[in-house]
């Protein structure tokens, strides 16, 4: 059995296929960018919803409802075909997610301050501090 190289397609068909691919390159790029934007948006919506759920007790109701509203707006945009609406909702949620981080951080700082004993910031006391100087006695003996 022998196999030979070469194409079963006529030269004109190959040239037409290359020309079609070149003409649709911009359309393919736009479709790829749209898919990447939608994937990123879905991932962000999922992770923010999980963050809200996992930190429900640490978040003020107003911040939680505001950011959840942005998540819902993004999900609604993802249900449609308007890529610009998805991008705008994605950008808005990206900006508002910082409020969650700030609220969680503030809550953890408040809890840490409440857990520290009174008069002992950071769990230590100034009474344990000793002022000392290191003296090398061996140099003096020589």
Question: What's the number of CA atoms in the CB half-sphere (13 Å) around residue 80?
Answer: 12
Residue 121 tokens read as: 């910031």
pTM of the model as a whole: 0.61
SS3 59: coil
**2 found inside a domain:** no
Q: Domain for residue 54, yes or no?
A: yes
- Please count the CA atoms within 13 angstroms of the CA of 103 that sit on its side-chain side: 20
What are 43-100's pLDDT values in tens digits? 999 999 999 999 888 888 899 999 999 999 999 999 988 889 999 999 999 999 888 8
What is the span of the domain harbouring residue 76?
30-109
Look at the block and give the residue holding tokens 């006529």: 10
Domain membership of residue 7 (yes or no) is no
Q: Is residue 139 part of a domain?
A: no
Our count of domains for the chain comes to 1
CATH label of the domain that carries residue 93: 1.20.1270.10
């Amino acid at each position: 059995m022998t196999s030979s190289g070469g194409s079963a397609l006529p030269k004109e068909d190959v040239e037409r296929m290359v020309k079609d691919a070149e003409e649709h390159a911009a359309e393919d790029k736009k479709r790829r960018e749209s898919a990447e934007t939608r994937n990123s948006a879905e991932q962000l919506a999922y992770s923010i919803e999980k963050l809200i759920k996992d930190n429900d007790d640490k978040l003020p109701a107003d911040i939680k409802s505001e950011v959840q509203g942005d998540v819902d707006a993004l999900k609604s945009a993802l249900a449609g075909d308007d890529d610009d609406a998805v991008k705008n909702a994605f950008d808005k949620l990206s900006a508002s997610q910082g409020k969650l981080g700030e609220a969680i951080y503030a809550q953890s700082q408040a809890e840490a301050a409440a857990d520290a004993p009174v008069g002992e910031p950071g769990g230590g006391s100034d009474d344990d501090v000793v002022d000392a100087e290191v003296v090398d006695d061996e140099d003096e003996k020589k």
